[in-house]
């Protein structure tokens, strides 16, 4: 044992989104005093700050998509709008005085392990030191614009959904949307009544599970306020429902998968009577191979007389609209790219340089290998929240991050007590974890034959291929044999 540590461990958290706020709150609660959150924007909120497109909601029920220690009786709906989630995150951060720890407008460009510290360099030229770095930089953070020729030629406003231009009115306009993921399926019903014409450019159809989104009445909210235990029950009930249905279906429970598939097929049959349109909207891959879409309003919206699904491939973008492979020009006033995110970049907009000068970029050149989604051999005292192979997909990422933070607090206890100065996963432990992951992926629906943001270039999903119970068990306490603790 080395001498007891008298100076507080300096913990740098990168990003003030859902998981960064959580980490700051929990580390402070555990008695860490030198906690700094570096946030590149001028306000907190992460994905809920960046995404403001019409129709944005979270498709995980709000009574479960929240911090387990800050249940909220005020949600307006079963699936609440993004703006409400942003207000909730703001309220939690203010209530717990987390905002005092956030340094806004600080874009980290490099983090280098130098001796026993992490040297942080920001784009404004300033530097800072930290003993521990926690990247809370999110998964769906880097928008992808489609590689369609002529993109810059379009004469009207054109933007990605994650860079929504609130100043552009869609009223009476001919609007084109490229993409048919969760985002587009939320956007279409939200704008269809406003626009003169809506064209949805679809490369691949989606399975859609119809889920109603009822409001919580004032009477219900009064009840939730008076009986907080009902919120606790709701949190657990939603978790149990997700855990035992969709979460099982995607990792090989064929019975559950068949039930969900039937519900999606029934939805299509019942709500899209026109056989030609139905054929266009029918996927040729398994339900839940791509992230399952929840919507009760999409099919009705896309069947409005002034809406259309365009399946002819796009050849190029021209000043007046989109040219299709059959020569037709679809004339547009506004073009929206609902083309998703590079979910495989994770923290790599930042240059992370490990103990021996190795860059994370190099280490990950052949695959996003982590130990338990949290750490990487050769990068001591560097951790990620919601890193590669976390249980993402349809779980509440807030719950996942809570488990990861609780694990990290235990893992860092020897460091904090001064028993060691650095902790990093052993290469063998990391290799064993990844071998297990790869073996388990074979049973999942994600590799059953579709293109999705889940898959890396080699076709490996960046998801958790086991049950949530297994994740809970693994996050309950670290096995210190898997780590090197350096004095
Ligand atoms: P996405 O699921 O990745 O969908 C992107 C869409 O763009 C796909 O339909 C894709 O077609 C299409 N596309 C991409 N490049 C194209 C090109 N060059 N030409 C034509 N089409 C192209 O993205 P997203 O809808 O933004 O959703 C991403 C994830 O964000 C979701 O899966 C979900 O996890 C999260 N999200 C969550 C919520 C929520 O409620 N919690 C809401 C929105 C988003 P292909 O299918 O053919 O590739």
Q: Are residues 408 and 326 in the same domain?
A: no
Q: Count CB atoms within 10 A of the CB of residue 246.
A: 23
Q: In this structure, which residue's CA is closest to atom 31 in ligand 1?
A: 182
Residue 50, domain member (yes or no): yes
pTM: 0.96
Distances (CA, A) of 82 to 49, 289, 323: 8, 25, 34
Boundary of a domain, candidates 307, 337, 367: 337
Pocket of ligand 1 (CB under 6 A): 57-59, 140, 146-148, 178-184, 186, 203-204, 291, 314, 338-341, 451, 453
Separation of CA 48 and ligand 1 centre (Å): 17
Residue 246, domain member (yes or no): no
Domain total of the chain = 2
Residue 296, domain member (yes or no): yes
What is the Cα–Cα distance from 407 to 400, expressed in whole angstroms?
11
Q: Which of 203, 284, 317 to mutate to test the pocket of ligand 1 (most atoms within 8 A of CB)?
A: 203
Separation of CA 346 and ligand 1 centre (Å): 17
Q: Are residues 113 and 256 in the same domain?
A: no
What is the Cα–Cα distance from 368 to 117, expressed in whole angstroms?
24
Q: Are residues 59 and 188 in the same domain?
A: no
Q: Are residues 172 and 271 in the same domain?
A: yes
Q: Are residues 374 and 325 in the same domain?
A: no
Q: Are residues 54 and 169 in the same domain?
A: no
DSSP code for 5:
P
Q: In this structure, which residue's CA is closest to atom 36 in ligand 1?
A: 182
Q: Are residues 102 and 20 in the same domain?
A: yes
Separation of CA 337 and ligand 1 centre (Å): 9
Q: In this structure, which residue's CA is closest to atom 18 in ligand 1?
A: 146
Residue 221, domain member (yes or no): no
Closest ligand 1 atom to Cα of 51? 43
Q: Which residues make Cβ contacts (< 8 Å) with residue 79, sequence separation at least 6?
A: 57, 58, 59, 60, 61, 62, 211, 213, 294
Separation of CA 274 and ligand 1 centre (Å): 25
Residues found in the chain: 487
Q: In this structure, which residue's CA is closest to atom 32 in ligand 1?
A: 291
What is the Cα–Cα distance from 287 to 254, expressed in whole angstroms?
11
Residue 135, domain member (yes or no): yes
Separation of CA 180 and ligand 1 centre (Å): 6
Q: Are residues 296 and 374 in the same domain?
A: no
Q: Are residues 306 and 178 in the same domain?
A: yes
Instruction: List per-residue pLDDT tens for the chain, 487 residues long.
Output: 444 456 899 999 999 999 999 999 999 999 999 999 999 999 999 999 999 999 999 989 999 999 999 999 999 999 999 999 999 999 999 999 999 999 999 999 999 999 999 999 999 999 999 999 999 999 999 999 999 999 999 999 999 999 999 999 999 999 999 999 999 999 999 999 999 999 999 999 999 999 999 999 999 999 999 999 999 999 999 999 999 999 999 999 999 999 999 999 999 999 999 999 999 999 999 999 999 999 999 999 999 999 999 999 999 999 999 999 999 999 999 999 999 999 999 999 999 999 999 999 999 999 999 999 999 999 999 999 999 999 997 789 999 999 999 999 999 999 999 999 999 999 999 999 999 999 999 999 999 999 999 999 899 999 999 999 999 999 999 999 999 999 8
Range of the domain at 173: 151-207+251-337
Residue 373, domain member (yes or no): yes
Q: Are residues 50 and 164 in the same domain?
A: no
Task: Give, to the nearest 10 degrees, the angle between helix 82-95 and helix 18-29.
Answer: 20
- In angstroms, how far is CA 330 from the centroid of its own chain? 33
Q: Where are the beta strands (DSSP E) in 171-234?
A: 174-178, 197-201, 208-209
Residue 375, domain member (yes or no): yes
Q: Are residues 362 and 260 in the same domain?
A: no
- In angstroms, how far is CA 337 from the centroid of its own chain? 18
Separation of CA 146 and ligand 1 centre (Å): 11
Residue 180, domain member (yes or no): yes
**Rg value, the chain, Cα:** 23
Boundary of a domain, candidates 337, 365, 390: 337
Long-range contacts of 315-321 (CB under 8 A, 24+ apart): 315/149, 316/148, 316/149, 316/150, 317/148, 317/149, 317/150, 317/151, 317/153, 317/154, 317/158, 318/150, 318/153, 318/154, 319/153, 319/154, 319/155, 320/155, 321/154, 321/174, 321/176
Boundary of a domain, candidates 314, 337, 360: 337
DSSP code for 39:
E
Q: Are residues 167 and 69 in the same domain?
A: no
Q: Quick one: pLDDT at residue 3?
A: 44
Please report, for the domain that includes residue 300, its CATH number.
3.50.50.60
Q: Tell me the backbone φ, ψ of residue 399, rounded to 5 degrees.
A: -65, -40
Counting Cα atoms < 13 Å in the Cβ hemisphere of 192 gives 21
Separation of CA 205 and ligand 1 centre (Å): 11
Distances (CA, A) of 177 to 200, 218, 243, 310: 5, 36, 33, 10
Q: Which of 77, 181, 449 to mutate to test the pocket of ligand 1 (most atoms within 8 A of CB)?
A: 181
């Amino acid at each position: 044992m080395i001498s007891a540590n008298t100076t507080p461990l300096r913990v740098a958290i990168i990003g003030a989104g859902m998981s960064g706020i959580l980490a700051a709150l929990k580390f402070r609660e555990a008695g860490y005093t030198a906690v700094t959150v570096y946030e590149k924007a001028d306000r907190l909120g992460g994905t809920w700050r960046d995404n403001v497109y019409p129709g944005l909601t979270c498709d995980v029920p709000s009574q479960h998509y929240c911090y387990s220690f800050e249940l909220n009786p005020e949600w307006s709906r079963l699936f609440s709008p993004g703006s409400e989630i942003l207000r909730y995150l703001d309220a939690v951060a203010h209530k717990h005085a987390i905002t005092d720890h956030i340094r806004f407008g600080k874009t980290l460009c490099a983090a280098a392990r130098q001796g026993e510290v992490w040297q942080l360099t920001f784009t404004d030229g300033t530097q800072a030191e930290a003993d521990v770095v926690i990247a809370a930089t999110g998964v769906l953070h880097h928008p992808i614009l489609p590689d369609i020729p002529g993109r810059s030629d379009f004469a009207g406003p054109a933007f990605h959904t994650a860079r929504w231009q609130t100043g552009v009115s869609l009223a009476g306009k001919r609007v084109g949307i490229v993409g048919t993921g969760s985002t587009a399926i939320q956007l279409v019903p939200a704008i269809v009544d406003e626009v003169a014409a809506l064209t949805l450019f679809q490369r691949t159809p989606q399975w859609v599970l119809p889920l109603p989104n009822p409001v919580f009445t004032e009477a219900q909210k009064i009840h939730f306020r008076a009986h907080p235990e009902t919120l606790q029950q709701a949190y657990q009930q939603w978790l149990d429902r997700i855990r035992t249905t969709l979460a099982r279906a995607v990792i090989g429970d064929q019975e559950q998968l068949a039930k969900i598939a039937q519900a999606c097929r029934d939805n299509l049959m019942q709500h899209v009577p026109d056989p030609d349109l139905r054929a266009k909207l029918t996927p040729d891959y398994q339900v839940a191979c791509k992230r399952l879409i929840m919507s009760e309003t999409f099919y009705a919206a896309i069947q409005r007389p002034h809406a259309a699904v365009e399946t002819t491939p796009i050849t190029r973008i021209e000043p007046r609209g989109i040219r299709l492979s059959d020569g037709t020009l679809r004339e547009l006033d506004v073009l929206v790219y609902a083309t998703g995110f590079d979910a495989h970049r994770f923290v790599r907009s930042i240059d992370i340089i490990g103990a021996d000068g190795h860059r994370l970029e190099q280490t990950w050149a052949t695959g996003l290998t982590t130990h338990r989604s949290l750490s990487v051999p050769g990068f001591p005292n560097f951790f990620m929240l919601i890193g590669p192979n976390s249980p993402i997909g349809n779980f509440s990422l807030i719950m996942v991050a809570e488990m990861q933070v609780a694990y990290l607090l235990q893992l860092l206890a020897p460091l904090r007590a001064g028993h060691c100065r650095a902790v990093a996963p052993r290469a063998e432990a990391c290799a064993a974890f990844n071998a297990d992951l790869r073996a388990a992926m074979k049973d999942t629906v994600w590799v059953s034959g579709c293109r999705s943001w889940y898959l890396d270039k080699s076709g490996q999903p960046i998801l958790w291929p086991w049950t949530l119970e297994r994740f809970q068990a693994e996050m309950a306490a670290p096995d210190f044999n898997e780590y090197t603790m350096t004095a």
